[in-house]
Chains A and B, each alone.
Chain A
Amino acid sequence: MHISDGVLPTSVAVGSFAASALLLAWSARRTRSEELPKVAVVSAAFFVASLIQVPFGPTSVHLLIPGLAGALLGSSAFLAIALGLLLQSFLFQFGGLTALGANALMMGLPALLCGLLFQTFKGKTRQRKMWVGGLAGGLGTALAALMLAALLASGGEDFLGVAKIALLAHIPVTLVEALVSAMTIGFLARVKPELLEPAYLKHPPVHHD
């Protein structure tokens, strides 16, 4: 699920570039230096996840993990996703360079939302973290599909039609992602629970320049 060059009208492409640049700056500002290794690892996982193909009928769709990235990184997720998409666009030719802003919004906004959702409802027990994590993972993909439909609708396509196709094509991915997210978060909750507590929630942000 990447938007290619020349699909979006220029105004939408430029607008989404501006919006994602703003979000990227905010996300980078919120990222604390102690969190950099974690952000790097999640970026790398996001970058590679798109190579895991899930066969679906005549075509195949790939893993996206915006929900998992959001749940693990919180506000830094946008930074990780934007970097991952940039490198995917350069190295894999997934998605056009001119549509990079739109692609970043399409993955980044669901990630931020799912991160917020996960941090709000994760609770204390491991069981609950797993369930909420799986939910966030599945929701991230579904929301990304809806964003895709909304962006394509701006190019003159019928929103409901595209949304239906995008959601239908991503049903298997949504299920797989929910499973993968639940397993990952359950595993992390057991072996390294502090990874699920973003630094910005533990201490108030300190500005040091």
Chain B
Amino acid sequence: MRWLQKLLPAMLLALWLLSAPAPARAVEQAAAEPAVTSVAADPQMAEELRRIHREIAALRADLAQPGIKEVFSGLGYILGLFGVAAFVAARRKGP
């Protein structure tokens, strides 16, 4: 805790230093704004986006594939249904 207390003035100083040139940075950001939108039109970025879209589609297709859970629940259903059928048939026949 002690070192944190020592660090506090330094942090405050850093905060003041960072916040001081705020107007200048805002101007910079405003200048960078058009550059950000043009990145979307950038062919490299568009290629990247398309690749990500493809990956999402592949993932979705993978998720639609039946997993081990579905397989075992189906097997359970089959054995259970035939078990009930065998039970009913045995009851009907009598001992």
Contact = CB atoms under 8 A, between A and B. Distances in A.
A88 B74 contact: yes
A84 B78 CA distance: 8
A87 interface: yes
Interface string B78-90: 1101110110011
Interface in B46-95: 64, 66, 70-71, 73-75, 77-79, 81-83, 85-86, 89-90, 92-93
Given A91-B66, A92-B66, A208-B92, A36 B85 contact: yes
B6 to A, nearest CB: 63
Interface in A148-192: none
Contact of A36 (B64, B74, B82): B82
Contacts of B73: 91
A207 to B, nearest CB: 11
Contacts, number: 51
A10 B78 CA distance: 29
A40 interface: yes
Contacts of A83: 78, 81
Contact of B78 (A33, A51, A87, A92): A87
A39 interface: yes
Contacts of B83: 40
Contacts of B89: 33, 36
A33 B86 contact: yes
Contact of B82 (A43, A51, A92, A208): A43
Nearest to B93: A208
A209 interface: yes
Interface string A86-129: 01100111000000000000000000000000000000000000
A37 B90 CA distance: 13
A18 interface: no
B74 A87 contact: yes
A78 interface: no
A51 B66 contact: yes
A22 interface: no
A165 B75 CA distance: 32
A40 B79 contact: yes
A87 B77 contact: yes
A19 interface: no
11 contacts: A33-B85, A33-B86, A33-B89, A33-B90, A36-B85, A40-B82, A47-B74, A47-B75, A51-B71, A83-B81, A91-B73
Given A39-B82, A43-B82, A92-B66, 11 more contacts: A33-B86, A37-B82, A40-B78, A40-B79, A44-B78, A87-B74, A91-B66, A91-B71, A91-B73, A92-B74, A93-B66
Interface of B: 64, 66, 70-71, 73-75, 77-79, 81-83, 85-86, 89-90, 92-93
